[in-house]
Structure 1
């Protein structure tokens, strides 16, 4: 139970040149007067029971349309969907809620749509209201709710009974940080219990920490289905391209078994090295000791602006720290044919005892979305070993000190 299978799935919407053309087709269906606009086409993938899969892609790629078809709120134009087990879904904000009914009344209606009887909803109501934490508003019309209150109640109802398959759209992004943590804790509990999870998120940390796989949609098609790190690296390279380059993105993005590299090539990263405190190249740093990142760059065409940045990731792909020459106030050469080294000094390495990777990027202005010249994922990987400082856990070491103070005796 909990398996999802999609075969040759497609969805097209009808586009009419005018309202009159729509009426004429309605009167004479044998003579179509519309143009089919395909939002999704030729989708094939399977998600096994207990898998957690993230759906990523740019706006308009078809992510929400796919989830609506999986939950039955949209009918496919072609292809087949097979779902095994009970499905719970949290799609568009407030979807399925009636604004004039109270939160409590909407809970009963949602429960019935989930196949629950009134007595079952009665039993679940205290847990639903406790998890939603909206207080007396449960007996107020939903139209008076804030967006955060709506998503609290919707998530509480959708997850009141452990499903076989949980499908979540981007609605969780609306909630406050406290409730997001609460939702992800419940999602992790479901994951540990073998629930199949499919969700859309623009948060790379959520995708990497929760998912076994990620599926990248681009212009209505699956362009990548792989480990989250590789898919998100490719997606990051894709969104950095301008629209013309995106049409032929294969010429601008390359992947091997290790990393993704992309960019227009107007400027290039020639080499990169990590130096220990003694100035020698290394791939093992000691916690608390100085280090230096040296990046050699080449400008191949005259540029209006140039920035070099680096991004530090842990072994799971979570972003730990990033900065660039723009934010650090260091201008770079712009003339074609120039070769130069950029040196980032990293005093007192504060990293934890694990492995890390460094991603490098040459781009325009303050981030790589402006104009990407050369993006190089996992340009370097290295380990951090124990230094002279005390042991600690985690990915970063804080400068903690400890003392003990004499307290006044407790009153008897």
Structure 2
């Protein structure tokens, strides 16, 4: 087993909150009386991260993610508990963290690099590589306060990624960059993973968490609710967001325990749609229920989940109302087996209204989808919710889709490109023989 590089034992962080600024002064001058309330940003965190592991950290805003990362980065000290970190830590916690706004980008590279543990000579050796990665041109010699948020994060990530750190912390910073820069960052992260760097990755983009991370934790109100594979933890996060209770910790635990129970109670209605070995997750308040979902051709003949590239198929979803409902929205999410979302839509976006359902009444919704996918296995998640976003029923990876493609091409999609070889007129040669 790999060496433990990060270990947190019963770590908690408490802040004091004051109703008025003068209350802080009163507490200093009158130490016998408290004028503040305790706020526990983290409570009883036990966590081990192994060398070379990539850990995803997800949770709602205010759940304690940034506090946890700051403690690991040693910019905060815990109120209780112990933290053991082995190796140099490079942290990208927030935009421009460690940057002096009055210094130029060039000066801040040296300033920030030394904060992260590099010597001036080491920074000089890496400077051209850092500048090329950031790719901000002449702004490198302009003050940071003139930078856009995207330019600041470009430079911050470029410095953090080239410090030869054993631990890299990235907290939502990549969401600011443009698509080209995000692709460059992802490539760099994959390179660092190959070099054995331990990565803590915080993002609300669940697809990125599933793609990059080997394990994940779900934080809520300062506690770890779930820990496991990225797919498992992401599903719990979706269930948490869909619950009606966002403020009470015990209510969140009840909602998650309920989702566990629903997940294990697989009804016979899904026996033909979900392979036994497939781990799927289901949640919602059960006001409406997905009874079945199959893939058919345009003549409604069951294709048993097999579709040819270039054809059209139907996704037929059978829904039953368990209450009287007049605001039903049905949606699908087509994904790779690693969780990358390829396509998602719903009846609301497609401007199709579903008739009201009374209790125990059923209806069928058909999505007609052209298949441009390349050969491979994909999954389709299906959800039913209200127009306000309240989840009635959601089943992750309900339908397994196998795409067959007789043509050979690379990538996830087949655009069916054609090649033309236009005739090139012959080149006229000039005969310079004077005798002709």
1:28-53 C-alpha deviation (Å, 9 max, x unpaired)? 54654422101111111211101111
* CA contact 2:326–2:355 (8 Å) conserved in 1: no
Among 389, 392, 398, the alignment partner of 1:370 is: 389
Matched, 1:53 2:52: no
- Give the superposition deviation at 1:327: 2.5
Structure 1 residue 62: Cα displacement: 1.0
TM-score normalized by structure 1? 0.91
Correspondent of 2:283 among 235, 257, 262 = 262
Tell me which residue corresponds to 1:382. Answer: 401
Which of 283, 296, 303 does residue 318 from structure 2 map onto? 296
Structure 2: distance between partners of 1:153 and 1:410? 53
How many residue pairs match? The answer is 406
The DSSP-based 3-state class of the residue aligned with 2:76 is coil
The normalised TM-score by structure 2 is 0.86
Aligned to 2:216: 214
For residues 224-272 of structure 1, give each alpha carbon's deviation from its aligned partner in whole angstroms, at most 9, with x where no partner exists.
Answer: 1111112112212221233367574236523347111111111111112
**Alignment correspondent of 1:184:** 186
Q: Hey, what's the Cα distance between the residues in 1 that align with 2:217 and 2:327?
A: 34
Secondary structure at the aligned position of 1:390 is classed as coil
DSSP-derived class of the 2:318 partner: strand
CA distance in 1, matches of 2:123, 2:428: 51
The equivalent residue for 1:402 is 419
Rounded to whole Å, the distance in 2 between the matches of 1:153 and 1:390 is 43
Query: Cα distance 1:176–1:329, how it changes in 2: closer, same or farther (>3 A)?
Result: closer
The aligned residue for residue 340 of structure 1 is 363
Cα separation, 2, equivalents of 1:139 and 1:329 = 51
Q: Which residue of 2 aligns with 1:85?
A: 87
Distance in 1 (CA, whole Å) between partners of 2:279 and 2:383 is: 17
Q: How does 1:230-245 map to 2 (within 5 A)?
A: 230-243=232-245
Is the radius of gyration larger for structure 1 or structure 2?
2
Q: Structure 1 pair 243/405, CA: closer, same or farther in 2 (3 Å)? A: same
Instruction: Report if the CA contact (8 A) 1:2-1:86 is conserved.
Output: no
CA distances 1:77-123 after superposition (whole Å, capped 9, x unpaired):
11111111111111111111111122222222212212222222222
User: Using the alignment, how far apart are the partners of 1:378 and 1:198 within structure 2?
Assistant: 27
The answer to whether 1:357 aligns with 2:383 is: no
C-alpha separation between the residues in 1 aligned to 2:428 and 2:77? 72
Answer whether contact 1:252 1:263 (CA < 8 A) is retained.
no
- Are 1:273 and 1:380, in contact at CA under 8 Å, matched by a contact in 2? yes
Give the match for residue 282 of structure 1.
304
Structure 2 CA distance for aligned equivalents of residues 379 and 223 of structure 1:
25
Residue 111 in structure 1 maps to residue 113 in structure 2: yes
- Is contact 1:2–1:196 with CA below 8 Å preserved after alignment? no
* Alignment match, 1:250: 256
Unaligned runs of 5+ in 2: 265-277, 430-436
Q: How does 1:62-211 map to 2 (within 5 A)?
A: 62-211=64-213
